[in-house]
C-alpha cells in the first residue's frame, strides 16, 4: 500500500485491511514509541458527514492526536503521572470537525509532559525516537505526532504549538508542520499550558493534507472565546499572490548543515520567481526570555487545577488537604513542569509582576509591531526552525541540555508571541537527517503559506526514513 491519499483511505476500509494496518503500525511503533495508545477500530463509526468541509479528501483517513487534546474514550495523560489512567469524557472541537469530515482517530501520541520541552524526552512514558536515527530526538513537544507521520503510521497527526512544538519536531522528522493563526482553530479540548500562546496544529505527510486538515478544523467556536473567523479584510489580503519574501540578515547562529538548508531554500525561492528581500527583526533577541516568562506565568495558573482532588492521581494517605495536594503534585509532576511552574509563580508574585511579567508583555507588543512593520515590506518571512538538526538524545556527548534547547527556540517562539501562522517545510537531507525551514505570514494568511509550500514540495517532497519505507507490504 503506497502513501497516496487513496491508500490511506483504504487502510481502514475493511476488517482485513484494518488488521494489516494495525499490525504494521504496532511493529513500527516499537521502534519509535510515537503512540501511547493505538486502537484503529475504536472510532471507525464516528465518521458521519459527507458534506463537511474537505470530506472528499479526508473521509476514511486515519489520524493521530497528541495526548494533550481530548478525544472521548481515549486517554488524556498529557505525558504526566498526575493524569495517569485518566480517560477523556468529551472530544475537542478541532478533532470533532475532522471526525465530521470523515477522518478516523486511531490513537494518541507521546509528548513532553504538558507540552513543556523540545525533545519528547520529558514524558513519564519514556522518550520518542527520531525515525531517521534512533539515537536522535524526535523534537518536541509534539514529537510523537511528527514521528508517527514520518514513520508512515498516519498521514497526519494533530499537535499543539506553544513555542514551536509542532514546527520543530516536524523539521527534525522531515514532515510538514503547521501552526495556524492564533484563534483560527478552537482550543476547546486542548489541555491548557500557556493559553495566550498555544494553538492546535498539524504535522502532515504533504502540503495538501495539511491544507485540507486546516480547512476542516478552522472557524469560531462558542466553547472557545478566543476563537474567531477571519475578517473580510484578512481574507482579501490572504488571497493576494505572494511576490516578495523576507529573509533574515546577519549571522543567525546556525550549524553548517542548517545554514546550507536555509541558503538552499532562498535559492529555490529565487528560482521560482519570488523577490527576496533582507529584513531585520531587532526584537528577535528578546523572544526567548519574553516567551518563557509569559509561558511560565500562564502555566503556573493553568496547572493549579491539578491537585489530586477532583481527578488524576492522588496519594493513598494524607494528614490534611494541603498535604494531599503537596504529595500529589510532588509525585505527579516531572522536573521540567515543576521548574516552569515555580518560575511562573515567581514572576507573578506581588512586587515582581512589573519587573518581569508586565515588562515581558510590553516587549511582546514590540515583537508584534516588528512583524507588522516587516509585513508592510514583504508578503512572507522565511526563517530557520531550529539552529541545529535533530540532536542526540539525553546522556550523549552531543545532546543539548535543557537550557540550550530553550535558547534555540528563538525562531519558533516569535510566531507564537505575535499570533502569526507559520509552516515548517522539509527542504533537504543533511548529514543523513532532515533539514527544514519555516515560512511566516500575516494573521489568517495560511493560504499564502500553502501556495509557496506547494512550489517547494514539487522541488523536494517529504522523504521516507530508510527503515520506514512508503510501502506497507
Q: Which of 80, 119, 123, 141 is catalytic?
A: 141
Cα 134 to Cα 390: distance, rounded to the nearest angstrom = 11
Q: For the packed helices 446-459 and 256-271, what is the interaxial angle rounded to 10 degrees?
A: 100
What sign does the CA torsion over 133, 137, 140, 144 have?
A: positive
The residues with which 185 forms a beta bridge, in sequence order, are 218
Pairing of strands 199-204, 129-130: unpaired
Q: Is 30 exposed, middle or buried (0-12, 13-18, 19+ CB in 10 A)?
A: exposed
In contact, 195 and 302? CB cutoff 8 Å: yes
The residues with which 130 forms a beta bridge, in sequence order, are 133
Cα 300 to Cα 339: distance, rounded to the nearest angstrom = 10
Name the grid cell of 320.
Answer: 490534611
DSSP state of 75: B
Q: Is 435 helix (H, G, I), strand (E, B) or coil?
A: strand
Task: Select from 385, 395, 378 the least CA-distant residue to 435.
Answer: 385
In contact, 121 and 394? CB cutoff 8 Å: yes
Q: Which of 123, 145, 165, 227 is catalytic?
A: 165
Q: Is 81 helix (H, G, I), strand (E, B) or coil?
A: helix
To the query of whether residue 141 is one of the catalytic residues in this protein, the response is yes
Q: What is the DSSP string of 373-421?
A: HHTTT-SEEEEES-SSSSPBPTTSTTBPPHHHHHHTTHHHHHHHHHT--
Q: Is 313 helix (H, G, I), strand (E, B) or coil?
A: coil
Backbone angles phi, psi at 116, to 5 degrees: -105, 95
| 164, 194, 367, 385, 458 from 271: Cα distances, Å | 28, 40, 31, 22, 13
What count of Cα atoms within 13 Å lies in the side-chain half-sphere of residue 299?
25
CB atoms within 10 A of CB 249: 11
Task: Select from 153, 83, 73 the least CA-distant residue to 111.
Answer: 83
Rounded to an integer, what is the distance from CA 4 to the centroid of its chain? 23
Name the grid cell of 424.
Answer: 515548517
Q: Which of 66, 108, 179, 406 is catalytic?
A: 66
Q: Which residues have a catalytic role annotated?
A: 66, 141, 165
Amino acid at each position: 500500500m503506497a502513501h497516496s491519499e487513496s491508500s490511506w483511505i483504504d487502510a481502514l476500509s475493511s476488517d482485513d485491511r484494518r488488521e494489516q494496518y494495525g499490525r504494521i503500525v504496532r511493529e513500527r511503533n516499537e521502534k519509535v514509541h510515537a503512540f501511547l495508545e493505538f486502537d484503529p477500530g475504536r472510532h471507525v463509526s464516528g465518521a458521519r458527514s459527507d458534506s463537511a468541509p474537505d470530506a472528499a479528501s479526508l473521509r476514511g483517513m486515519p489520524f493521530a492526536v497528541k495526548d494533550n487534546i481530548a478525544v472521548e474514550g481515549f486517554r488524556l495523560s498529557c505525558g504526566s503521572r498526575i493524569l495517569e489512567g485518566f480517560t477523556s469524557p468529551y472530544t475537542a472541537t478541532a478533532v470533532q470537525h475532522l471526525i465530521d469530515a470523515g477522518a478516523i482517530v486511531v490513537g494518541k501520541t507521546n509528548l513532553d509532559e504538558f507540552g513543556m520541552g523540545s525533545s519528547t524526552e520529558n514524558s513519564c512514558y519514556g522518550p520518542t525516537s527520531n525515525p531517521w536515527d534512533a539515537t536522535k530526538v524526535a523534537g518536541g513537544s509534539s514529537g510523537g505526532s511528527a514521528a508517527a507521520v514520518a514513520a508512515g503510521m498516519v498521514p497526519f497527526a494533530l499537535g499543539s504549538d506553544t513555542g514551536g512544538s509542532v514546527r520543530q519536531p516536524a523539521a527534525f522528522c522531515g514532515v510538514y508542520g503547521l501552526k495556524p493563526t492564533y484563534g483560527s482553530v478552537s482550543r476547546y479540548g486542548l489541555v491548557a499550558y500557556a493559553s495566550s500562546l498555544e494553538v492546535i496544529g498539524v504535522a502532515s505527510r504533504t502540503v495538501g493534507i495539511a491544507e485540507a486538515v486546516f480547512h476542516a478544523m478552522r472557524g469560531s467556536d462558542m466553547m472557545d472565546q478566543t476563537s474567531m473567523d477571519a475578517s473580510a479584510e484578512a481574507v482579501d489580503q490572504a488571497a493576494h499572490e505572494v511576490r516578495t519574501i523576507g529573509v533574515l540578515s546577519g549571522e543567525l547562529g546556525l550549524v553548517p548543515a542548517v545554514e546550507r538548508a536555509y541558503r538552499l531554500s532562498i535559492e529555490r525561492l529565487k528560482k521560482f520567481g519570488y523577490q527576496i528581500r533582507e529584513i531585520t527583526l531587532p526584537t528577535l533577541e528578546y523572544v526567548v526570555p519574553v516567551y518563557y516568562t509569559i509561558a511560565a506565568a500562564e502555566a503556573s495558573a493553568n496547572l493549579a487545577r491539578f491537585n489530586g482532588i477532583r481527578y488524576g492521581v492522588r496519594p493513598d494517605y494524607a494528614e490534611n488537604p494541603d498535604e494531599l495536594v503537596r504529595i500529589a503534585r510532588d509525585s505527579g509532576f516531572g522536573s521540567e513542569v515543576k521548574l516552569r511552574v515555580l518560575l511562573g509563580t515567581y514572576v507573578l508574585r506581588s512586587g515582581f509582576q512589573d519587573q518581569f511579567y508586565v515588562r515581558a508583555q510590553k516587549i511582546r507588543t514590540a515583537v508584534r509591531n516588528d512583524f507588522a512593520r516587516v509585513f508592510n515590506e514583504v508578503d512572507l518571512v522565511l526563517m530557520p526552525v531550529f539552529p541545529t538538526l535533530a540532536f542526540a538524545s539525553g546522556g550523549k556527548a552531543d545532546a543539548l541540555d535543557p537550557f540550550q534547547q530553550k535558547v534555540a527556540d528563538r525562531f519558533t517562539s516569535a510566531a507564537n508571541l505575535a499570533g502569526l501562522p507559520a509552516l515548517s517545510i522539509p527542504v533537504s537531507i543533511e548529514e543523513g537527517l532532515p533539514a527544514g525551514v519555516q515560512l511566516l505570514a500575516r494573521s489568517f494568511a495560511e493560504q499564502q503559506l500553502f501556495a509557496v509550500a506547494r512550489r517547494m514540495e514539487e522541488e523536494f517532497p517529504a522523504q521516507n526514513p530508510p527503515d520506514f519505507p512508503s510501502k506497507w507490504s
